[in-house]
Amino acid sequence: MQPSFGERPQNPRSVLLTEVAQATQRLADAGVPSPRTDAEELAAFVHGVKRGQLHTVRDADFDARYWEAVARREAREPLQHITGRAYFRYLELQVGPGVFVPRPETESVVGWAIDAVRAMDVVEPLIVDLCTGSGAIALALAQEVPRSRVHAVELSEDALKWTRKNMAGSRVDLRQGDALDAFRDLDGQVDLVISNPPYIPLTEWEYVAPEARDHDPEMALFSGEDGLDLIRGLERTAHRLLRPGGVVVVEHADTQGGQVPWIFTEERGWADAADHPDLNNRPRFATARKALP
Ligand SMILES: C[S@@+](CC[C@H](N)C(=O)[O-])C[C@H]1O[C@@H](n2cnc3c(N)ncnc32)[C@H](O)[C@@H]1O
């Protein structure tokens, strides 16, 4: 038998819920890929709470600045530029104009790298992140691989303004320079080289989402006609840096899974070249081991 609860009070209308629903519709109409999530994230940002705490915002506290934030997102400004923060694995990073916004697909690349380093059974693994941008990869590895010694390089001064903020107080050795020529002092000693370099083919410019094309730095996106110019160069850099048996992991576009592993050939001193999918099961990163002498 159902217990009787008596007359229930009417559920009061939530102002925020109504506004978030309207914002979701506007963002969907503008072609934003995840309109509800973004509408909620913007509401959380404007009201200074986490997304999971939106129920604590009282109607009287509704902040009209929400609509300014929604309008910016509607114009396809990246969510992370509006909020100034990007989440990557266990990190919250500061981002904005001048630096590449770290992407969720790169989290699987880092996951593979962590497993590879653990399998090496090295006490203080030496890791190099080439093209570090916001520092997402290097900081995640420093946080998640105990006793790792992590070094990172970035060429763009605009990006480095953000990298320095994110790395303040961390134990990552950050340097400014060209990845192709970086860390000559570490030649032949590194256990793992990781990179998410620019890799979009110039020929695909028109298909790139407006958030990336109009807001990520060009230097972070493109690398020659087929997108592979920098990866071809990084193959030599990784080989120079790694100790025999050390591994390289390089992110690439989902259209390049048939090409990138072939850059790491036996003739060039590599073994076990392979390609791996991301969480959406799209080809996403190549790995190889520096051959033993
Ligand atoms: C796709 S972004 C990736 C940033 C970061 N690793 C991440 O995963 O979020 C590529 C980065 O490489 C940097 N870059 C491009 N060419 C470079 C070079 N020759 N040497 C060092 N960094 C470079 C860009 O400025 C940009 O920050």
Atom number of ligand 1 nearest to Cα 179: 20
Q: Report the Cα 176 to chain-centroid distance in Å.
A: 20
Pocket test for ligand 1, best of 89, 94, 100 (most atoms within 8 A of CB): 100
| Catalytic choice (35, 78, 88, 100) | 100
- Whether 288 lines ligand 1, by a CB cut-off of 6 Å, is no
Determine how many CB atoms are found less than 10 A away from the CB of residue 25: 13
On whether the CB atoms of residues 130 and 116 are closer than 8 A, the answer is no
Give residue 3's pLDDT band: very low, low, confident or very high (50, 70, 90): low
Of residues 197, 201, 261, 283, which has the active-site annotation? 197
Integer CA distances (angstroms), 269 to 130, 237, 240, 272, 293, in order:
20, 12, 10, 11, 9
User: Which pLDDT value is given to residue 7?
Assistant: 61
The two three-digit tokens of residue 37, written as one number: 């999530």
Q: Binding site for S-adenosyl-L-methionine, residues?
A: 154, 196
Paired strand residues for 152: 129, 174
**Distance between CA 255 and CA 253 in Å, rounded?**
5
* Region 248-257 average pLDDT: 97
Cβ 78 under 6 angstroms from ligand 1? no
pLDDT digits (tens, 9 = 90+) for 108-162: 999 999 999 999 989 999 999 999 999 999 999 999 999 999 999 999 999 999 9
Q: Atom 4, ligand 1: which residue's CA is nearest?
A: 133
Q: What is the pLDDT of residue 263?
A: 98
- Whether the pLDDT of residue 6 is over 90: the answer is no
Q: State the closest ligand 1 atom to the C-alpha of 103, by its place in the atom list counted from 1.
A: 9
Ligand 1 contact, 113 CB (< 6 A): no
DSSP 166-230: HHTTS--EEEES-GGG--GGGTTTEEEEEE----B-GGGGGGS-HHHHHHS-HHHHB-STTS-HH
Q: Calculate mean pLDDT across residues 165-182.
A: 98
Q: What is 97-290's CATH topology?
A: Rossmann fold (3.40.50)
Q: How many A from CA of 231 to the centre of ligand 1?
A: 11
Average pLDDT over residues 261-285: 97
User: Annotated catalytic residue: which of 196, 201, 264, 283?
Assistant: 196
Q: Is 100 a catalytic residue?
A: yes
- The finding on whether 229 has its CB within 6 A of some atom of ligand 1 is no
**pLDDT tens, residue by residue, 8-23:** 555 556 888 899 999 9
What DSSP string describes the chain? -PPP--SPPPPPPPHHHHHHHHHHHHHHHTT-SSHHHHHHHHHHHHHTS-GGGGGG--GGG--THHHHHHHHHHTT--HHHHHSEEEETTEEEE--TTSPPP-HHHHHHHHHHHHHHHHHT-SS-EEEEES-TTSHHHHHHHHHSTT-EEEEEE--HHHHHHHHHHHTTS--EEEES-GGG--GGGTTTEEEEEE----B-GGGGGGS-HHHHHHS-HHHHB-STTS-HHHHHHHHHHHHHEEEEEEEEEE--TT-TTTGGGGS-GGGTEEEEEEEE-TTS-EEEEEEEEPP-
> What is residue 61's predicted lDDT score, i.e. its pLDDT?
85
pLDDT at 91: 98
User: Mean pLDDT, to the nearest integer, of 255-276?
Assistant: 97
Q: Is 264 a catalytic residue?
A: no
